[in-house]
Structure 1
Amino acid sequence: MDVIGLGTLAMDILRKVDKLPGEDSFCIVENTAYAPGGSGTNVIVQMARLGAKCGYVGKVSDDKIGEEIIVNLKQEGVDTSFMVIKKGGTTLHTEIVIDRAGKKFILLNLGDVFHTLGVDEVNTEAIQTAAVFYTDLLPFEPAVKGLKTAKESGRKTAFNMQTGLDTMKGFGISKEDIFNVLPYTDVFAPCQEGLYALTDTTDLEECRKRLRKYCSGVLLFTLGSKGSVAYDKEDNRYEIPCRKINCVDTTGAGDSYLGSFLYSYFLKKDSLENSMKLATDCAAYTCTGIGARYSPTVEQIKNFVKLD
């Protein structure tokens, strides 16, 4: 196994609207579609589409949403034998409202199954033998177990903080908890909102300094339309601008970025800069279609790059 992922999973209900509503306002739903999502599984699916052999750890109900999540992962070539299925309950899902310009907001229904994944339900043998362990730290205790198990086994690890600090706190994860797992992380990739809240600054050099106290690995900052910035272990800085495209939907762009980056950097052993360039191209491709899983295969990204 190249990669074992443990993190969020969901079914996304995509609602295309004429405009995002303000307070006490409304919008017109123009189209509704259903697509498997969840940041954790999106990252793993992107890696699988590029050729990585992936497995995933998570917990779903035996409801229709849970069944569809597992079926889709299998269709993507992801090993689901590490998944845990609970009888009864509601599988985590989201409703994503997207306007004509691609801007969005997300309603999250946690259900009553996802966070019941126990530490003893995590397949540690799979983590010990995989080249890379990936997590977004949810659910917390199983994710920490995975990070520690991977590092103790000499495997590479990546932690994607894909939500803001307030959301993490809502899941019961404090700033101190996050700092405590960073020593077990080879690549730390916080989203822009999470990065600024975690470090109490918007100055990237200060962000680096404050995080370097805890993490000796690569610091990878995704900054939306501003592109991405990374610091290697020696604190050399790399900056890649985003590609100019006709954006349809930004959902899943960050997940595509990270999945393709990890594939390139850890599995293909490409340089940090080249891995960021591939990740930027894959994220741009994802923005040209609807849904978090509009991420490219190897052939699709090759053709997309040729358009330049």
Structure 2
Amino acid sequence: MEVCGLGTIAMDVLMQVDMLPQKDGFCMVENTSYQPGGSGSNVIVQLARLGAECGYIAALSKDRYGLDILNNLKEEGVDTSCMEVFEKGVTLHTDIVIDQNGDKFIMLNMGDTFEKLEFDDMKKLYVEKAKVFYTDLCPGKTAMKAVTAARNRGIETVFNMQVGLATMNGLGVSKEELLACIREVDVFAPCRQGLFDLTGTENLDECCGYLRNYTDAVLLFTLGSGGSAAYDRDGTKYEVPCKKVNVIDTTGAGDSYMGGFIYSYCIKGKDLLSSMGFATACAAHTCSGLGARFSPDLEMVGQYL
């Protein structure tokens, strides 16, 4: 197995509307569709579509959402032998409202199975089979155990912090635990809100200086329309602009970016700048369609490159 992932998994309920409502306002729903999602599993699916051999660890229930998610992962070629599937409960799902410009807001229903995932001996052995371990550190305590297991085995480890500190706190992970965790990873890729929460600044050079007190990992920052930036272990900074496309929906663009980056940098051994360019092409494709799983295969990426 080339990549083992452990993290979020969900069903995305996509509602296309004429405009995002203001406070006390309303909007017209023009279309509703259902797509398996969750940031962590989106990254793994992107990797699988690029040709990587992948497995995933998460918890679902046998409700409509959970069974559809599980079947979809199998269809994508992702190994699900370490997934936990509970007989009863509610699978994590999101309601995503998207306007005609691709802007959105997301409502999260945690359900009651997601945080039941435990890191037992079977999952530890599963993680240790991988070349690369990927996580968004959700659920927190379980994922931190997996990070340590991967690190102890010498497995390249990627931590993509997809939410802000307040959400991580709500999931039972403190700032101190996050900073301790990033000591153990090879690539740390926080979202903008998470980065600001950890460092107290939006200046990337200052962010890098702060984080270097805790980790020597490659630091990777996705900046939306501002492209992406990265700092390698010796402090060299790299920047790649985003590709201009006709944006339909930005949902999942960061997930496709991470999948593309891991494929190029961790699996294929390409240099940091080339891998950022490859990842940017993956994200551009995702922005040109609807939903987080509108992610490309290798041939599609080649068209952007």
Shorter-chain TM band: over 0.9
Partner of 1:9: 9
1:275 corresponding residue in structure 2: 275
Aligned position for 2:160: 160
Q: Given the two structures, how large is their TM-score scaled by the length of structure 1?
A: 0.97
2:257 alignment partner, SS class: helix
Counterpart in the other structure of 1:98: 98
Asked if 2 retains the 8 angstrom alpha-carbon contact of 1:132 and 1:266, the reply is yes
Look up the match of 1:79. 79
In structure 2, C-alpha distance between the alignment counterparts of 1:101 and 1:121, rounded to whole Å: 47
- Residue 7 of structure 1 and its aligned partner are, at CA, apart by 0.1
Tell me the CA shift for residue 304 of structure 1. 3.4
* 1:223-259 deviation per Cα after TM superposition (whole angstroms, max 9, x unaligned): 1111111000111100001111110000000000001
Query: What's the offset of the Cα at 1:121?
Result: 7.0
- With the length of structure 2 as denominator, give the TM-score of the two structures: 0.98
Counterpart in the other structure of 1:295: 295
Identity %: 55
Q: 1:122 to 1:25 in 2, by over 3 A?
A: farther
> Counterpart of 1:34 in structure 2: which amino acid?
Y
C-alpha offsets along residues 195-232 of structure 1, whole Å, 9 cap, x if unaligned?
11110001111100111111111000111111111000
Question: Runs in 1 of length 4+ with deviation above 6 angstroms?
Answer: none
Q: Secondary structure at the match of 1:248?
A: coil
Q: Does 1:127 align with 2:124?
A: no
Partner SS for 1:220:
strand
Question: 8 Å contact 2:141–2:172 — kept in the other structure?
Answer: no
The whole-number CA distance in structure 2 between the counterparts of 1:133 and 1:37 is: 19
Q: Are residues 171 and 301 of structure 1, via their aligned partners in 2, closer, same or farther at CA, if it must alter by over 3 Å?
A: same
Equivalents in 2 of 1:7, 1:91: separation in Å? 14
Amino acid aligned to 1:207: C
Per-residue deviation at 1:76?
A: 0.4
Q: Secondary structure at the match of 2:73?
A: helix
What is the identity, as a one-letter code, of the residue corresponding to 2:22? G
One-letter amino acid of the counterpart of residue 31, structure 1: N
Aligned to 1:138: 138
The answer to whether the Cα contact below 8 Å between 1:84 and 1:121 also exists between their aligned partners in 2 is no
Counterpart residue number, 1:176 = 176
Shift of 1:122: 5.8
Report the Cα offset of residue 145 of structure 1. 1.1
Q: Which residue identity lines up with residue 112 of structure 1 in the other structure?
A: D
- Give the whole-Å Cα distance in 2 for the aligned partners of 1:130 and 1:229: 27
Corresponding residue for residue 88 of structure 1: 88
Query: Within 1, Cα distance between the matches of 2:85 and 2:244?
Result: 42
Alignment partner of 1:107: what SS? strand
Aligned residues: 305
Matched residues in 1 for 2:166 and 2:91: separation?
A: 23
Relative distance call for 1:57 and 1:122 in structure 2 (3 A) is farther
> Counterparts of 1:108 and 1:30 in 2: how far apart (Å)?
21
Q: Pairwise CA RMSD of aligned residues?
A: 0.9
Residue matched to 2:260: 260
Q: Is the 8 A contact 1:147 1:185 kept in 2?
A: yes
- Letter paired with 2:276: M
Quick check: 2:98–2:104 contact (8 Å CA) kept in 1?
yes
8 A contact 2:158–2:188 mirrored in 1: yes
Please, which moves more after superposition, 235-244 or 296-305?
A: 296-305
